Structure 1
Amino acid sequence: MAAFRRFPFTVAATALAAAITLNAPARAADAGAPWSLDRLMSTLAQHKSGRATFTETKTLSIAAQPVESSGELVFVAPDHLEKHTLSPKPEHLVVDGGMLTVERNNRTYTLALDRYPELGAFIDSIRATLSGNRFALERVYKVALSGRGDDWTLTLTPLDARMLKVVSTITLDGTRDVLRSVAIRQADGDHSLMRLQPVPAN
C-alpha cells in the first residue's frame, strides 16, 4: 500500500509538467519580458488542454539499473490528467476530480483522494498551479525560481511533514515558456527524471 500511496504524488507532479508544456506556445510573444514567478503562473493560467509525449528514467533502490519508460500525457482542464505508459509495460494512471485510477498488469485500482488528506492536498496544490494561483501554491510548498528566462529552474519543496515523507522536492527546468524536464526526488532516495515534448494540435 505504501507504494500505491506514492502514485497521486507522481501523477500530480506530472500534471504540473504537462500543463507548462502544453500551455507554452500561448506566451511566446512575451519573450522579451522579464522572467518571474508571476509570469510562470500566468502561463499556467491559460488552462490549455492537450497532449505531450514523455520519456522517464527512474532510479529505484529496488532496481539494479535505472528503469526507462515512455508514453503520452493527456491533460484536460481543470482537473483531469491521464498518464499512459506504453513502454516497457503498459500502465494507465488517471486523475479525475477526487479519484485516482491505476490500471496495470490487467488489474485496476481506484483511490478516493479524500481518504488521504495529504495526498488530496498535494493534488489540490497542483490544481492551484494550473489555475495560476500562486498564493495557494505557496501555502503548500516553498517555491523557488532561479535562472533566466532562457534557462530557469522551479523548485517545489513540500511544507507539510506528511508530504515530505513521500516527496522531498520537485524540480522543473525550462526555457522561456517551454518545459524541458521535471525531476521528482522521493524521501526514500528514489528519484525520477521526465523529459517532455508537446504534441502539436491537429
Structure 2
Amino acid sequence: MYDEPAAGGPPPQRKGRPRSTTADDAILAAARALLADGGWAGLTMGDVAARAGVAKTTLYRRWNSKHELAIAAVAEMLDTLHLPDEGLTLRADIEDVVRRFAALLARPEMRTALMGLVADSTSDPALRTRIREEVVNPQKRLVLEGRARAKSRGEITTQDDLDVDLIFDVIAGTVVHHILVSAEPASDRWVQRFTTFVVSGLVP
C-alpha cells in the first residue's frame, strides 16, 4: 500500500494537499477503472481505496467525496486535450480537437463520470460551481490558444470580436450532446460538417 510519511517526519507545507504523486496516480486510475466497470453507482470511496492499494485516510486527505474524486478524474482526462503540434489552419485545429474530445467522451469512464456529476449537480449548486470551475473553465484555454494561432496566421484580425465563452459553448456543447445525449458516433463526415459550420462563423 502507498502510505503517508511516518509520524515525526517533516510536516506538509500545505495541509490537505497530495504528498505522493504515486498515490494520486493510483487513486485516479482506480476511480476511472471503477467508473468504467461498475458505473456511477459502483464508484465508492472504499472500493477506490482498496483498488488503489491506499489507506482510506490517504484517499480522504486528497478528495473528501465521490464528487471531488470524479471531478479530479474527469479534469485529468480533459487536460490531455491539446491543439495539434503542426496545425496549419483554424479548421485543422478545430477538427483535431473535436475528434479528440469526442474520443474522450466515448470512453465509458468519462461518459459515466460526466453524466453522474451533471445529474447530481441539478440539486446541488455548489457541485455545479465546482464542475464549472474545475472541469469547464480550464478547457477554454483551447479556444484562447486557437484564437491566438488564427490571428498569428492572419485568418482572423485583432479587430474580430470572438466571444471565447460562446465559441466554447458551441463546440463543447454540440459534441457533448452528439456523443452523450444523442449517443451518436463522431464519424468523419459529422466532424467535417460540424467543423465547416464552426469555421464559417469565425472566419470573415
- The structure with the largest alpha-carbon Rg is 2
Structure 1 and Structure 2 fold alike (TM over 0.5): no
> Taking structure 2 as the reference length, what is the TM-score of the superposition?
0.26
> Taking structure 1 as the reference length, what is the TM-score of the superposition?
0.26
User: Which of the pair is proportionally richer in helix?
Assistant: 2
